[in-house]
Structure 1
Amino acid sequence: MPTTPQEAVDYVRKNKIEWIDLQFTDLPGRLQHVTIPAADFTEEEIKNGFGKLDGSSIKGFTTIYESDMVLFPVLESLVSLPWSPSVARVLTKVYWGGGKGRFERDPRYVAETAESVLSSEGYTSYYGPELEFFLFDRVDIDVKTPQQGTGYKITAREAPWNGNGGYIIRYKEGYYPAPPVDQLMDVRLDIVQTLTKHFGFVIEASHHEVATAGQGEIDFRFSTLVETADKLQTLKYVIRNVAAKYGLVPTFMPKPLYGDNGTGMHTHFSLWNKNGKNMMYDPSDEYAELSQTGRYIIGGILHHARSLSAIVSPTVNSYRRLIPGFEAPVYVAWSKGNRSAVIRVPSYYKGMEKAKRIEYRAPDPSTNPYLAFSAIAAAALDGIKKKIDPGNPVDTNIYHLTPEKRKELGIKELPRSLDEALDELESDNEFLKPIFNSSILETYIDLKRDESRTIQMYPHPIEIYYYLDV
């Protein structure tokens, strides 16, 4: 990958690129882009940035009277697109126009700040998100005026209601079935081959997930904070474009189907010092080879879990996933292997320092990864600095505990709605302040309040079924 303006220009010339797609991420987490002629992608323009962005038209960015913004390419991300070889995409950093410096509400800037804060404390963090998603054959959305109502219909070849050729996947029985029951293996392989051959990914696994109707998962090799967030945005981008080639509709919506598992993004996290030591590993710990620092990290995340929810589970739909019975976390607790807890300590191997990490199970794919990974880092640092004790691990199915027993064990619940999570974020955000500036926090909360308020005004189709005759 290019690292200097000269190498970038040479890459464009060598690969006969005609167009450069400048990409960036808005505050909610959606990838945005503007395309320029390759002839304008010169060394001088790369150094000066590309004044091509009207920030007032981007969610969470800026107002109409201060809208001129400049995009600076992240040259290491420059790559020609396999589905459109005359086009090269490049991720960018967002700056204010007029030489006023970095735009403080650029999500990537927050992630860069997080890495800088971690480095100043002597740490490097690593992230390994497990991205789940659905591949539907068709989604028909009927959106009329609010007064006329809304509706949708999902068509999926594997689903019991649309089974193709007799092969179906029953509800909650989609984990690892071999083809031809798994009818989307070839599509997932096309996705991972595109990622490895063209985008430099190292893929660790690709498989069908628990739900019917085309739920899958792709896991790539862990990396540092900003790089992992960049890769996650790239992964979503590639999934969407490869799926489009097959006429499929991908979605990263946390809960598109009733009665089956939702879509999560379990995120593995570890913290290392400058000497290359895993700060979370202690071979003398009998429970999970977890160090005291590792326990403080867990303590910090658990202590702030309810406010973190507003960032890592950031949509109204997220809270339809976070319910008992579908392998999604509901309770604020930790354990070694217990998937009903919001944090577990994977223990596949013994005596392996590089493998020691935690798995934070609350995030879902609707999150902005730059913000999510930064918030996790902030909570972990707060746990270390304040030596927050996570309490005892809970090695039982928390779903089966009585409310009285959960209270006795001090097990709290995650928020049950986006509004509740935003309430928590408004009252518990000091731990984020070293990384998140007040401007981005205020704007983010305002955006999400408006999103929640708007959705609450629409009657849900199932409400007609339940309440039409009241």
Structure 2
Amino acid sequence: MPDTSSQQAHHADDVFKRISNQNIRSIDLQFTDVAGMVKTVTIDADHLADALTEGVWFDGSAVEGFARIAESDMYLMPDLSTFAVIPWEGHHPEIGRTARILCDVYTPNGQPFAGDPRGALRRAMEQAAEMGLSYVVAPELEFYLFSAPPEQGELEQDDHASYFDASDGVARVIRKRITDALREMGIVVESSHHEVGSGQHELDFAPMDALRMADAILTARMAVRTIARQEGRFATFMPKPLSDAPGSGMHVHQWMRDLESDENRFADAREDYGLSRDGQAFLAGQLTHAREICAVLTPLVNSYRRLMSGLEAPIYVTWAQLNRGALLRVPRLSDDNRLGTRIESRCPDPSCNPYLAFTVLLHAGLRGIRDTLALPPAAEEELYEVSNRRRHLTTLPTSLQEALDEFEGSDVAREALGLHLFERFLEAKRLEWRDYLLVVSPWELERYLTIY
């Protein structure tokens, strides 16, 4: 929910003091398009006061999936609770420092813009609040580091280490700089480590409410790419950049907290797996609607290379406690775990728009609670070896086209995003799929050129 005027006033006092004390000369006002790409309007710090009262106007028709020419005028309203100095830009006395503020998008009549991804997540959080719930998440953000940008030739991984191996050299410096920078911006990375793939790394975030976490994911992706470039490396959140190496995911750990008591509404020691009735229904909702929301969680043509390869990426629409091949897990916890029972979604990847991803995950779960959906039995066997015909297991979509077909027919996705975002997302992704179909791939040339 937007800050009240008193909250904004409190934030404003602190912000203007910091601007003065830290020689901040420029403010990057940021928002995202439907695909999750960060858009920036930079203003002089002296103009921030006017921006807080009048907004900053821009042409929405120039932004992917935002508005058509006839409805293009809109403006940004800064959310001062997101103010942070950008650490990786450093301090140049002659030009000052730069801060960033994330913004909500409004139409000329003063209404929240229906096509603003951040607004969609706000609305979803408000629906949860009406049920007395707060949606809290903790993602695991994976990425690859390469020694040079792709235009300089074949991709070369930055190292040949593996899971939890000690990083050394440049990779260690990059990860340390990233976590330090994010800490300065109020974002806590509980741990970071090397992943399974050579040159692959992971950042594990401390839990936050979903809106603040989506803000944090945007910031983290910028930090990773920029700091890697400053250290002479190239970072990518592409889900499957290498055919013969694991893909990058963004597993999302989820909790529902009671708004009044702050208790974990997923936890009930009397139930199997320690998962409450609400937690079971929430999980059942995400299972039931998994295929419909997959296009939002894994939104690229390349995303389905990761899913279909296995390698701890989910293929089947199942849940489990121990099996890491399941789409959703209820991890086993020690008795003294401070956060308690949680539900882990293993479908999302780091290319998603986090605002939209958390929105559809939340709506699917809340639908399960409202409809009191029953949870099917867990699937603890080795899913990558089980016969699909024997078990009749439902699979996730195997291509972006299949995922978009499911998305298009989904009332949950339509309700979650609202008609404007729903149509713009579908339109943009259908175009992406059509563009892909026109390209002759290296695999086709190698397979067919000389034998036909």
Does the alignment reach a TM-score above 0.5?
A: yes
1:434 Cα shift? 4.6
Question: Aligned to 1:175, which of 163, 176, 189?
Answer: 163
- Mapped pair 1:58 → 2:40: no
Question: Aligned to 1:418, which of 383, 394, 400?
Answer: 400
- Mapped pair 1:48 → 2:48: no
Question: Aligned to 1:201, which of 180, 187, 196?
Answer: 187
1:187 Cα shift? 1.2
What secondary structure is seen at the aligned counterpart in 1 of 2:374? coil
CA distance in 2, matches of 1:110, 1:179: 39
- Mapped pair 1:437 → 2:407: no
What secondary structure is seen at the aligned counterpart in 1 of 2:274? coil
- Mapped pair 1:93 → 2:96: no
1:108 Cα shift? 0.3
- Greater alpha carbon shift after TM alignment, 397-406 vs 253-262: 397-406
- Mapped pair 1:369 → 2:354: yes
Q: 1:325 to 1:443 in 2, by over 3 A?
A: closer
1:433 Cα shift? 4.7
1:145 — aligned with what?
none
**Percent of paired sites with the same residue:** 35
CA distance in 2, matches of 1:433, 1:116: 17
CA distance in 2, matches of 1:90, 1:141: 33
User: Do the aligned residues in 2 keep the contact of 1:185 with 1:207 (CA within 8 Å)?
Assistant: no
- Mapped pair 1:457 → 2:438: yes
Q: Which amino acid aligns with 1:251?
A: T
What secondary structure is seen at the aligned counterpart in 2 of 1:311? helix
Q: 1:45 to 1:187 in 2, by over 3 A?
A: closer
1:155 — aligned with what?
156
- Mapped pair 1:382 → 2:387: no
1:189 — aligned with what?
176
What secondary structure is seen at the aligned counterpart in 2 of 1:155? coil
- Mapped pair 1:330 → 2:336: no
1:258 Cα shift? 0.7
CA distance in 1, matches of 2:174, 2:201: 10
RMSD: 1.8
CA distance in 1, matches of 2:243, 2:170: 21
User: Do the aligned residues in 2 keep the contact of 1:195 with 1:201 (CA within 8 Å)?
Assistant: yes
1:46 Cα shift? 1.3
TM-score by structure 1 length?
0.89
User: Do the aligned residues in 1 keep the contact of 2:299 with 2:352 (CA within 8 Å)?
Assistant: yes
What secondary structure is seen at the aligned counterpart in 2 of 1:400? coil
Cα shift readout 1:131-160 (whole Å, capped 9, x = no counterpart): 000111213349xxxxxxxxx6212332xx
Q: 1:305 to 1:232 in 2, by over 3 A?
A: same
Cα shift readout 1:47-92 (whole Å, capped 9, x = no counterpart): 22112x2211110101223322211111122122223332111111
User: Do the aligned residues in 2 keep the contact of 1:324 with 1:399 (CA within 8 Å)?
Assistant: no
User: Do the aligned residues in 2 keep the contact of 1:5 with 1:46 (CA within 8 Å)?
Assistant: no
CA distance in 2, matches of 1:36, 1:276: 39
1:351 Cα shift? 6.2
Question: Aligned to 2:145, which of 135, 142, 146?
Answer: 135
Question: Aligned to 1:281, which of 245, 261, 267?
Answer: 267
User: Do the aligned residues in 1 keep the contact of 2:333 with 2:341 (CA within 8 Å)?
Assistant: no
1:147 — aligned with what?
none
2:118 — aligned with what?
108
Aligned length: 437
Unaligned runs of 5+ in 1: 143-151, 159-167
Q: Normalized per residue, which structure has more helix?
A: 2
CA distance in 2, matches of 1:157, 1:289: 42
CA distance in 1, matches of 2:402, 2:284: 21
CA distance in 2, matches of 1:104, 1:247: 40
User: Do the aligned residues in 2 keep the contact of 1:94 with 1:102 (CA within 8 Å)?
Assistant: yes
What secondary structure is seen at the aligned counterpart in 2 of 1:391? coil
1:34 — aligned with what?
41
Question: Aligned to 1:448, which of 429, 440, 445?
Answer: 429
CA distance in 1, matches of 2:82, 2:374: 40
Q: 1:185 to 1:353 in 2, by over 3 A?
A: closer
User: Do the aligned residues in 2 keep the contact of 1:5 with 1:47 (CA within 8 Å)?
Assistant: no
What secondary structure is seen at the aligned counterpart in 2 of 1:103? coil
Cα shift readout 1:401-423 (whole Å, capped 9, x = no counterpart): 1123321xxx2000000110111
What secondary structure is seen at the aligned counterpart in 2 of 1:380? helix
CA distance in 2, matches of 1:276, 1:126: 11
1:4 — aligned with what?
11
CA distance in 2, matches of 1:179, 1:30: 30
User: Do the aligned residues in 2 keep the contact of 1:139 with 1:155 (CA within 8 Å)?
Assistant: no
2:279 — aligned with what?
294
What secondary structure is seen at the aligned counterpart in 2 of 1:437? helix
CA distance in 2, matches of 1:130, 1:290: 22
1:325 Cα shift? 3.5
Q: 1:388 to 1:210 in 2, by over 3 A?
A: same
Q: Which amino acid aligns with 1:57?
A: A
Cα shift readout 1:281-317 (whole Å, capped 9, x = no counterpart): 11123x4211122111111001000011011011100
CA distance in 1, matches of 2:401, 2:238: 18
1:219 Cα shift? 0.9
What secondary structure is seen at the aligned counterpart in 2 of 1:382? helix
CA distance in 2, matches of 1:386, 1:416: 28
What secondary structure is seen at the aligned counterpart in 2 of 1:138? coil
User: Do the aligned residues in 2 keep the contact of 1:125 with 1:272 (CA within 8 Å)?
Assistant: yes
1:269 — aligned with what?
254
User: Do the aligned residues in 2 keep the contact of 1:117 with 1:434 (CA within 8 Å)?
Assistant: no
1:352 Cα shift? 4.4
What secondary structure is seen at the aligned counterpart in 1 of 2:217? helix
Q: 1:293 to 1:114 in 2, by over 3 A?
A: same
User: Do the aligned residues in 1 keep the contact of 2:407 with 2:413 (CA within 8 Å)?
Assistant: no
